[in-house]
Amino acid sequence: MGLVLSFANFFQIDNLYSLNKIEPMPAYLVFEKPQVLKKIANKKAVKKQIYEEPVIASPIPETADTRAELENIKMEKDLLLKEIINNETKSFVEEISFFSNLIRDQVIMNWKQPSSAQKGMTVEILITLVPTGEIIQVNLTKSSGNQAFDNSALNAVQKVSKFENLDMGRKLFDNHFRKFTLVFNPEN
Amino acid sequence: MSLFDQFLVMAAIICSFSGCAAISMDRAVEAETVSAVAEPGYSDSDSPVGGTIYFDYDKYNLSASAVSEIRDLAKSIKSNSSKVRIEGHCDERGTREYNLALGERRANAVSELLQVNGVPSSSITTVSYGEERPVAYGSNESSWSKNRRAVVKLL
Amino acid sequence: MILRILTSLFIIYSSFLSSDLRIEITKGIEDPIRIAIVPIAWNLENPPREYLHQIISSDLESFGEFVSLSPKEMLSLPNSEQEIFYRDWKLLDVDYLVLGTASGGENAQEIVVNFSLFNVTRERLMKRSISVGSASYLNALAHIISDRIYNEINGLPGISSTKISYINQNSLPELKYFLRVADIDGRNDSSIFSSSEPLMSPSWSSDGKRLAYVSFEEGTSRIFIQEIYTGKRKGLKLERGINSSPNWSPSDKYLAAVLSKEGNPDIFRYDLENDKWKQLTDHFGIDTEPDWSPDGRKIIFTSNRSGSPQIYEMNVSNKKIRRKTFEGTYNARARYTPDGKSFVFVHRRDGLFHIAVQNLRTGKLQILTDTTLDESPTISPNGKVIIYATKDKEKDILAGISIDGKTRFILPTNSGGVREPSWSPLLVSTGN
């Protein structure tokens, strides 16, 4: 999976490179998810660029001061980069959380627990989706040992049959939501 | 308000304290709570009763008046060489089997005091009916207090 | 070189990025299961007047777990799997579908019902079963089918074939007490013993064939055992004082009971084989209301040894006793749940008597009822429903509540008052 991605990314490196050249990473660039992914992975490359393209336009004799200034600017860029990466990861996690909740809610609405359900029972079902939200494959990966309980979970999944409102970027979908596991574990 | 009206109001106020319904005014008459099912209670007097001792909720200790009543009862039992059967009862609150035990405690309390006062134990039988034989039906203190009793029956 | 670094970075980072997502579902919806029972087709010359599907529907709906579709609402009435058009049923939001045919059996009295249970959501057959019964006891046959359906869907035994025993008191024309047994749906209610003296504490044997109870017919409390189907009756060896609170051991070899012959009420064990009493507790307080644990190893009982009634548990083999209730000043009449993990009992709070349930391991107490003069809780053999005695406007009635507290009901009563309910064990085996 990673390999495929990496090859796909290869061909877009130049675009990024040119983007980076223009200005230091302002926050709003974060919205371009696929590019951001590569940007993060490109950390080293980006850094390299900074080195090779000094910000200072006019030639300045290399004194101790200018070297110090260069170091400062480099540090600033590193910090900015880190901040963007953090924000990125945060909103990344937020997105996963958001869609997970959407999925969870839709499953809850369709799950009728059987009378024999008890705290401690767990059944795990592997779900395969297509980007429209439709469930194309259901696999019982871990039985609870209680047939009625297993069946109720399978029923719930079957009833959902298609998750609504999963409008997410392709990358997010492929990485997390194409295949995921539902863990049914009552709290009562 | 005319003098007559004032008089009526006064009378109504006085009457409302004493509970009379003589004055016809728009005033709700307090009726006694009528039970939905008119259950006749068990009658203790199917056999002659020597005396009935009453108890507090959840208790089987004898009050001072009960003690003197039992003392007098003992005298008459001895003089008549009667045999007695003491029946212990409870009000409806609480579980039935626990009340059977509580009723027995009450009957035993009376029995012991009778014996202390000279009635031979061979003349006494005790039985508990728990909450099974109430004399009064009604889920209120008035009925409950009538049911918390030990009845000394003369055989 | 740079590209190589980039590649490895991509691979590492993207596998980090595409971690296996696990979403936890910790609750579902409370809605009852929706079931459609298609009127069973009769292949008989003279089909009986009772409608099987109606009895099965009301069985399943009894305690709030199911809701059944009325035939009027059904879009089609399939008689076989081939005739099922699942979309019709999904439109009606039906979860399960039952089809069946009934025909005569080997003799005129016999009815054979062939039924199939379908999972509408997943469009598949779940269970096919043949049930045989007598034409004159059609409801018994319906109950067996209901239990099989319940068991297949819920994984627990159904209780449609169980019975309830209780005491009925009538004052008119004269004061009389009746020991009654009825099917759990209220049918076949009959008196198996009556007396002008009080009757108390009915208790079912584990084999469901006998009832032990207390009768005052001899002028004092005495325990009797009666065979339900033959009427044969036998009194346990009478002792001085109280003889009460009988409770069968899981093996039916013993009865736990209360005798006060030693001066105060204690728990005793009666050996039915040799008619002998054995003392189990010995305390100057009141020990009463014993109940045997499902595994037969412990007895839970009420005792006021701490000053007021509380629940205690005793290990039958080594007689070790442990107090179980610590909340409130009146806790009594405990009954184990069938899984042995909790007990239901009478709990007094603010002067009012409620039915509560407490977990034996955690000690967590939960009040179930909001009625206020509650007593004698009895629990269904699948642990899902409790029936208890309470009052409704001065009248003694029996009420019920599901163990999760969500479904409440009142049992229709006879004339007079009813109390001291006792739920039978499972009487018919309906497992696969």
The CATH number of residue C228's host domain is 2.120.10.30
Mean pLDDT of all residues in C216-234: 96
Helix, strand, or coil (residue C396): strand
**Which pLDDT tens digit goes with each residue over C242-275?**
999 999 999 999 999 999 999 999 999 999 999 9
CA distances from C198 to A138, B60, B147, C89 (A): 62, 22, 16, 54
Q: Does residue C121 fall inside a structural domain?
A: yes
Q: Do C395 and B137 touch (CB under 8 A)?
A: no
What proportion of chain A, given as a percentage, has pLDDT over 70? 63
Mean pLDDT of all residues in A38-44: 43
Q: Does residue C382 fall inside a structural domain?
A: yes
Residue A69 sits in the same domain as residue A123? no
Q: Is the pLDDT of residue B47 over 70?
A: yes
Residue A86 sits in the same domain as residue A6? yes
Residue A6 sits in the same domain as residue A93? yes
Please state, in angstroms and rounded to a whole number, the distance separating the CA atoms of residues A152 and C63.
19
Please state, in angstroms and rounded to a whole number, the distance separating the CA atoms of residues A170 and C17.
13
Pairing outcome for strands C365-367 and C352-359: antiparallel
Give chain B's domains with CATH numbers: 46-154 (3.30.1330.60)
Of A67-71, C6-10, C291-295, the least confident: C6-10
**Per-residue pLDDT, C13:** 52
Q: Does residue A29 fall inside a structural domain?
A: yes
Q: Is the pLDDT of residue C1 over 80?
A: no
Q: Choose the final residue of a domain: C132, C154, C176.
A: C154
**Per-residue pLDDT, B36:** 42
What proportion of chain B, given as a percentage, has pLDDT over 90? 63
Chain C residues with CB under 8 Å of B37 CB are: 394-395, 417
Q: Choose the final residue of a domain: C121, C154, C187.
A: C154
**CB contact C396 to B (< 8 Å):** no
Q: Does residue A54 fall inside a structural domain?
A: yes
**Per-residue pLDDT, C214:** 98
**Per-residue pLDDT, C216:** 97
Residue C169 sits in the same domain as residue C49? no
**φ and ψ of A45, to 5 deg:** -60, -45
Q: Does residue C123 fall inside a structural domain?
A: yes
More confident residue, A185 or B4: A185
**Residues facing residue C256 across a β-bridge:** C247, C269
Q: Which of B96, B108, B122, B135 to mutate to test the interface with C (most CBs of C within 10 A)?
A: B96
Residue C99 sits in the same domain as residue C122? yes
Chains B and C form CB pairs within 8 A to the count of: 93
**Which pLDDT tens digit goes with each residue over C199-223?**
999 999 999 999 999 999 999 999 9
**Per-residue pLDDT, B105:** 97
* Domain count across chain C: 2
Residue C401 sits in the same domain as residue C269? yes
**CB contact B139 to C (< 8 Å):** yes
- CATH number, residue A163: 3.30.1150.10
Q: Does residue A161 fall inside a structural domain?
A: yes
Residue C284 sits in the same domain as residue C385? yes
**Which pLDDT tens digit goes with each residue over C305-333?**
999 999 999 999 999 999 999 999 999 99
Q: What is the DSSP string of A127-186?
A: EEE-TTSBEEEEEEEE--S-HHHHHHHHHHHHHH-B-------HHHIIIIISEEEEEE--
Q: Is the pLDDT of residue C96 over 70?
A: yes
Polymer length of chain B: 155
Q: Is the pLDDT of residue B13 over 80?
A: no
**Which pLDDT tens digit goes with each residue over C269-299?**
999 999 999 999 999 999 999 999 999 999 9
Residue A14 sits in the same domain as residue A60? yes
Residue A6 sits in the same domain as residue A94? yes
User: What is the span of the domain harbouring residue C39?
Assistant: 33-154
Residue C414 sits in the same domain as residue C359? yes
**Which pLDDT tens digit goes with each residue over C177-193?**
999 999 999 999 999 99
Q: Do A10 and C65 touch (CB under 8 A)?
A: no
What's the 3-state SS for C318-330? CCCEEECCCCCCC
Q: Give A38 to chain C, closest Cα distance, Å.
A: 8
Of B21-25, B58-62, B79-83, B128-132, the least confident: B21-25
| Other residues' Cβ atoms within 10 Å of the Cβ of residue C56 | 31
Q: What is the DSSP string of C146-174?
A: HHHHHHHHHSS---TT-EEEEEEEE-SSS
Chain B residues with CB under 8 Å of C167 CB are: none
Residue C358 sits in the same domain as residue C246? yes
- pTM for this entry: 0.80
Q: Which two tokens stand for residue C164?
A: 């309830």
- CATH number, residue C75: 3.40.50.10070
Residue C48 sits in the same domain as residue C125? yes
Mean pLDDT of all residues in C218-241: 96
Q: Nearest-CA neighbor of C36 among C107, C104, C85, C102?
A: C85
Q: Is the pLDDT of residue C415 over 90?
A: no
**Per-residue pLDDT, A61:** 56
More confident residue, C6 or A130: A130
Q: Does residue A103 fall inside a structural domain?
A: no
Q: Choose the final residue of a domain: A98, A121, A145.
A: A98
Chain C residues with CB under 8 Å of A12 CB are: none
Query: What 8-state DSSP symbol labels residue A27?
Result: G
**Which pLDDT tens digit goes with each residue over A120-136?**
899 999 999 999 999 99
Q: Does residue A79 fall inside a structural domain?
A: yes
Residue A27 sits in the same domain as residue A83? yes
- Whether the ω angle into residue C173 lies within 30 degrees of 0, i.e. cis, is yes
Q: Nearest-CA neighbor of C56 among C168, C169, C133?
A: C133
Residue A146 sits in the same domain as residue A61? no
Q: Choose the final residue of a domain: A98, A120, A151.
A: A98
Please state, in angstroms and rounded to a whole number, the distance separating the CA atoms of residues B56 and C390.
23
**Per-residue pLDDT, C332:** 97
Of the pLDDT bands very low, low, confident and very high (cuts 50, 70, 90), residue B21 is very low
CA distances from A2 to A9, A131, C8, C17, C18 (A): 10, 19, 9, 9, 9
The rounded mean pLDDT for chain A is: 73
Residue A6 sits in the same domain as residue A80? yes
Chain B residues with CB under 8 Å of C219 CB are: 127
Q: Give B53 to chain C, closest Cα distance, Å.
A: 20
Q: Choose the final residue of a domain: A98, A117, A145.
A: A98
User: What is the span of the domain harbouring residue A57?
Assistant: 2-98
Residue C91 sits in the same domain as residue C72? yes
Residue C103 sits in the same domain as residue C244? no
**Per-residue pLDDT, A65:** 72
Residue C46 sits in the same domain as residue C85? yes
Q: Give B77 to chain C, closest Cα distance, Å.
A: 22
Of the pLDDT bands very low, low, confident and very high (cuts 50, 70, 90), residue C8 is low
What is the interface pTM, i.e. ipTM, of the complex? Answer: 0.89
Q: Does residue A104 fall inside a structural domain?
A: no
Residue A16 sits in the same domain as residue A72? yes
Residue A59 sits in the same domain as residue A18? yes
Q: Is the pLDDT of residue A43 over 50?
A: no
Mean pLDDT of all residues in B37-51: 76
Numbered residues of chain C with Cβ closer than 8 Å to any chain A Cβ: 2-3, 5-7, 9-15, 17-29, 31-33, 65, 95, 119, 121-122, 152-156, 382, 384, 404
**Per-residue pLDDT, A19:** 32
**Which pLDDT tens digit goes with each residue over B63-81?**
999 999 999 999 999 998 8
Q: Which two tokens stand for residue C165?
A: 């025993």
Q: Does residue C232 fall inside a structural domain?
A: yes
Q: Is the pLDDT of residue B11 over 90?
A: no
**Residues facing residue A30 across a β-bridge:** none
* Domain count across chain A: 2
Q: Does residue C350 fall inside a structural domain?
A: yes
**Per-residue pLDDT, B3:** 55
Mean pLDDT of all residues in C79-85: 92
**Which pLDDT tens digit goes with each residue over A160-176?**
999 999 988 898 899 89
Q: Does residue C10 fall inside a structural domain?
A: no
Of the pLDDT bands very low, low, confident and very high (cuts 50, 70, 90), residue B46 is confident
Contact C23, A180 (CB under 8 A): yes
Residue A91 sits in the same domain as residue A12? yes
**Which pLDDT tens digit goes with each residue over A135-152?**
999 999 999 999 999 999
Q: Is the pLDDT of residue C413 over 90?
A: no
Mean pLDDT of all residues in C83-108: 92
Q: Is the pLDDT of residue A26 over 80?
A: no
Q: Pick the residue from chain A with its C-alpha nearest to C96.
A: A155
Q: Choose the final residue of a domain: C154, C173, C198.
A: C154
**Per-residue pLDDT, C69:** 95
Residue C103 sits in the same domain as residue C220? no
Residue C58 sits in the same domain as residue C185? no
Residue A14 sits in the same domain as residue A85? yes
Q: Which two tokens stand for residue C368?
A: 């179930």
Q: Which of C1, C65, C117, C121 to mutate to test the interface with A (most CBs of A within 10 A)?
A: C121
